Amino acid sequence: MKAIQVTQFGGSEKLVYTDVEDIIAGKGEVCVRLYTAGVNPSDTYTLTGTYSFNIPQLPYTPGLDGAGIVEAVGDGVTNVCVGDRVFISSLMQSKSTGTFAEKIVCDANSVHPLPNNVSFEQGAALGVPALTAYRALFHRASLKPGQTVLIHGASGGVGLQVVQMAKSHGANVIGTASKPKGKKMVQQAGADMVIDHVTEASIDDVLALTNGKGPDVIIEFLANRNLETDLKLIAPFGKIVIVGNRGSIEINPRLAMQKECDILATALWNAPKDEYEQSINGVVDMLKSGALQPIIGTTLPLEQAPQAFEQLAKGIGNGKLVLKIN
User: 11-29, pLDDT tens digit by residue?
Assistant: 999 999 999 999 999 999 9
In a domain, 87, yes or no: yes
In a domain, 31, yes or no: yes
Domain of residue 88 covers: 2-126+294-324
Q: Domain check: are 76 and 107 in the same one? A: yes
Contacts of 204 (CB under 8 A, 6+ apart): none
pLDDT tens sequence across 91-141? 754 556 799 999 999 999 999 999 999 999 999 999 999 999 999 999 999
Q: How far apart are CA 191 and CA 168, in angstroms?
A: 11
Q: Domain check: are 97 and 198 in the same one? A: no
In a domain, 166, yes or no: yes
Helix/strand/coil for 49: coil
Q: Domain check: are 73 and 143 in the same one? A: no
CATH of the domain at 70: 3.90.180.10
Determine the pLDDT at residue 122: 97
Residue of 279, 295, 292 lying closest to 112 (CA atoms): 279
90 pLDDT band (50/70/90 cuts)?
A: confident
Q: How far apart are CA 195 and CA 179, in angstroms?
A: 10
Q: Domain check: are 64 and 176 in the same one? A: no
Q: Domain check: are 153 and 41 in the same one? A: no
Determine the pLDDT at residue 313: 84
- Please give the share of the chain, as a percent, with pLDDT higher than 70: 98
Helix/strand/coil for 3: strand
Determine the pLDDT at residue 92: 53
Q: Domain check: are 101 and 44 in the same one? A: yes
In a domain, 208, yes or no: yes
Q: How far apart are CA 77 and CA 236, in angstroms?
A: 49
Q: Domain check: are 65 and 187 in the same one? A: no
In a domain, 81, yes or no: yes
Determine the pLDDT at residue 280: 94
In a domain, 235, yes or no: yes
CB count within 10 Å of CB 13 equals: 10
In a domain, 25, yes or no: yes
Determine the pLDDT at residue 95: 58
Q: Domain check: are 138 and 107 in the same one? A: no
Query: Edge-to-edge, what's the strand order for the sheet holding 172-176?
Result: 193-195, 172-176, 148-152, 217-220, 239-242, 262-265
Q: Which helix (H) or strand (E) holds 209?
A: helix 203-209
Q: Which residue has the higher pLDDT, 118 or 55?
A: 118
Question: Is the predicted pLDDT of residue 1 greater than 90, yes or no?
Answer: yes
In a domain, 280, yes or no: no
Q: Domain check: are 163 and 245 in the same one? A: yes
Threshold 0.95, pTM exceeds: no
Question: Is the predicted pLDDT of residue 191 greater than 80, yes or no?
Answer: yes
Domain total of the chain: 2
pLDDT tens sequence across 200-256? 899 999 999 999 999 999 999 999 999 999 999 999 999 999 999 889 999 999 999
Residue 103 backbone dihedrals phi, psi, to 5 degrees: -140, 160
- The mean pLDDT of the chain is 94
For 235-298, the three-class secondary structure string (H helix, E strand, C coil) is CCCCEEEECCCCCCCCCCHHHHHHHCCEEEECCHHHCCHHHHHHHHHHHHHHHHHCCCCCCEEE
